[in-house]
Amino acid sequence: MLENRIIRIIEGIVGEQHVSTADTDRLCYSYDATQRQHRPDAVVWPSNAKEISLLLKMANAEGIPVYPRGAGSGFTGGSLPIHGGLALVLTRLDAILRIDEENLIAEVEPGVVTRQLQKAVEALGLFYPPDPASLKFSTLGGNVAECAGGPRCVKYGVTKDYVLGLEVVTPQGDIIRTGGETMKGVVGYDLTKLLVGSEGTLGVITKIILKLLPLPAAKKTMLVLFDSIDGAAQAVAAIIGGKIIPTTLEFMDGTTIDCVRRNTDLELPQAARAVLIIEVDGDSALIEKQAETILKLVNPLGVVNTWVAANSEESEAIWQVRRSVSPSMRKVNPDKFNEDICVPRSRLPEMIRTIEAISDKLQIPIVNFGHAGDGNIHVNIMVDTAEPGQEQKAKQAIEEIFAATLKLGGTMSGEHGVGVTKAPYIPMELDPAAVAYMKAIKKALDPNNILNPGKIFLQD
């Protein structure tokens, strides 16, 4: 627990009403979207970079760990206060500071919810593409810290492709700016790129300059059902090989379809063993032509049924199939180990077959869906940890899946980061010299190991 003396100092920085040691607050900020819980000693809600700078200076002087937190929707435990200390909640920094229509940029504070920015720019005919499925509640600060992805990334890229500059409070409390407002800039090391995806371990992001695009005029959504996962995978290759990059290329495997079928009223034919949701956007005439070409390319590949949305309501209904996956999965088994491996697109069928073999061998359901266009699969290992041996089996499955992913030239995480949950597996992917290089960066920038300790590496 923190001494009263420390609490008084924090109150002096942020104001009495913006720090709490109440059990309820400590409990509320003890979890994220993983199933782990770690209570902070206190929760602090600063309102600007200056306050965060003073908090970090104090934390360094007193040796108190500080854990930055956005909405707490992370899937790898990145915001969990695993050594107690302060949960530094950034949701009060929630202003869209400006949208510059001439230069196509936006400047925001980190606590802005992603969808909120998208709506604001769309009202002006502009577009902020990164779209994590958590966009209605996750924050842009959290998206930047995790380099979040989403369905649209196959065409538009991930968060890092839109971050031009940052204001950051360093672990020792200095306030710095990286990058800027220009589309180009090569003065010094690219600190912006280093900070994006650094999972709150190298600095607290307090302002973000984002690149915007013009809003595409129209979009067209299609749901295509295949009789095999191979057919769906070949369809992905055929579309991209046909020189079309759709906005989204989402897939669901047979287990996912069974799951959705059992738990919703959505009608999906029994013969369907894989689904692709394909969306194209752009000029109306162009997307009609692209949709036609896509259907011609995929039709010979075991298509069972096709639904082309005629309007935005039907497009929404198609996306409802995808959105029903998470709630229906919970009914398979109560506990979910969620991984987000990524393999080269062409290796997708091999990867899915390997996962199915692991699922059969260990006799545990594994539900696979995700961003086929990126080779990024959300692998959901469904167990009941209350049953003896189930957790152990899930861990064995994870290790075998990671080993197979790496063998196929993939990576253990396409978008959720390392945090706590993937830290034990880092040596499977990174060689010791690369880990030492990363640790040297952390040590140089945060010599007292104050900011988000215990994340990414098992020992900082």
Contact (CB, 8 A) for 371 and 250: yes
Q: Specify the stretch interacting with ligand FAD by CB under 6 A; choose among 44-52, 71-79, 247-255, 345-353.
A: 71-79
Q: Is 205 in the site for ligand FAD (CB under 6 A)?
A: yes
Bridge partners, 99 (sequence order):
106
Closest distance to ligand FAD from the beta carbon of 357 (Å) = 26
Per-residue contact flags (x/-) with ligand FAD for residues 13 to 52, judged by CB under 6 A: -------------------xx-------------------
Instruction: Pick from 46, 74, 165, 197 the residue near ligand FAD by CB under 6 A.
Output: 74
Using alpha carbons only, give the angle 157, 251, 327 rounded to the nearest 5 degrees.
105
Rank residues 143 and 421 by Cβ distance to ligand FAD and give the closer one. 143
Q: Specify the stretch interacting with ligand FAD by CB under 6 A; choose among 69-77, 283-291, 296-304, 361-369.
A: 69-77
Q: Specify the stretch interacting with ligand FAD by CB under 6 A; choose among 147-155, 211-219, 267-275, 283-291.
A: 147-155
Torsion, Cα of 142, 144, 149, 152 (10° steps): 110
HSE-up of 442 (CA within 13 Å, CB side)?
21
Closest distance to ligand FAD from the beta carbon of 444 (Å) = 18
Residue/partner pairs of 256-263 with CB below 8 Å, 24 or more apart: 256/325, 256/329, 256/367, 256/368, 256/369, 259/325, 259/328, 259/329, 259/331, 259/332, 259/367, 260/321, 260/324, 260/325, 260/328, 262/328, 262/331, 263/324, 263/327, 263/328, 263/331
Contact (CB, 8 A) for 119 and 151: no
Instruction: Pick from 133, 194, 286, 423 the residue near ligand FAD by CB under 6 A.
Output: 133
Instruction: Pick from 227, 253, 279, 415 the residue near ligand FAD by CB under 6 A.
Output: 415
Bridge partners, 165 (sequence order):
179, 209
Residue 430 Cα distances to 6, 157, 433, angstroms: 39, 24, 8
- CA 376 distance to own-chain centroid: 11
Contact (CB, 8 A) for 163 and 215: no
Closest distance to ligand FAD from the beta carbon of 158 (Å) = 8
Q: Is 118 in the site for ligand FAD (CB under 6 A)?
A: no
Contacting residues for 2 by C-beta, under 8 A, at least 6 apart: 21, 41, 42, 64
Rank residues 234 and 247 by Cβ distance to ligand FAD and give the closer one. 247
Q: Is 56 in the site for ligand FAD (CB under 6 A)?
A: no
Instruction: Pick from 72, 349, 375, 453 the residue near ligand FAD by CB under 6 A.
Output: 72
Instruction: Pick from 46, 85, 110, 373 the residue near ligand FAD by CB under 6 A.
Output: 110
Residue 350 Cα distances to 26, 124, 279, 401, angstroms: 45, 44, 25, 12
Q: Is 216 in the site for ligand FAD (CB under 6 A)?
A: no
> Total residues at the site for ligand FAD (CB under 6 A)?
35
Neighbours of 136 (CB within 10 A): 12
Q: How far apart are CA 330 and CA 316, in angstroms?
A: 23
Closest distance to ligand FAD from the beta carbon of 360 (Å) = 28
Rank residues 142 and 349 by Cβ distance to ligand FAD and give the closer one. 142
Q: Which of 227, 324, 232 is nearest to 277 (CA)?
A: 232
Rank residues 311 and 459 by Cβ distance to ligand FAD and give the closer one. 459
Q: Specify the stretch interacting with ligand FAD by CB under 6 A; choose among 22-30, 132-140, 239-247, 272-280.
A: 132-140
Contacting residues for 266 by C-beta, under 8 A, at least 6 apart: 260, 320, 321, 324
Closest distance to ligand FAD from the beta carbon of 377 (Å) = 12
Q: Is 204 in the site for ligand FAD (CB under 6 A)?
A: yes
- List, in sequence order, the alpha helices (H) in 243-324: 254-263, 284-298, 312-323
Task: Tell me the two tokens of residue 397.
Answer: 């499955």
Instruction: Pick from 38, 452, 453, 456 the residue near ligand FAD by CB under 6 A.
Output: 452
Q: Specify the stretch interacting with ligand FAD by CB under 6 A; choose among 73-81, 266-274, 276-284, 297-305.
A: 73-81
Q: Which of 428, 433, 432 is nearest to 405 (CA)?
A: 428
Rank residues 171 and 349 by Cβ distance to ligand FAD and give the closer one. 171
Instruction: Pick from 46, 65, 149, 165 the residue near ligand FAD by CB under 6 A.
Output: 149
- Catalog residues that contact ligand FAD under the rule CB under 6 A: 32-33, 67-75, 78-79, 90, 110, 132-134, 138-139, 141-143, 145-146, 148-150, 199-200, 204-205, 415-416, 452
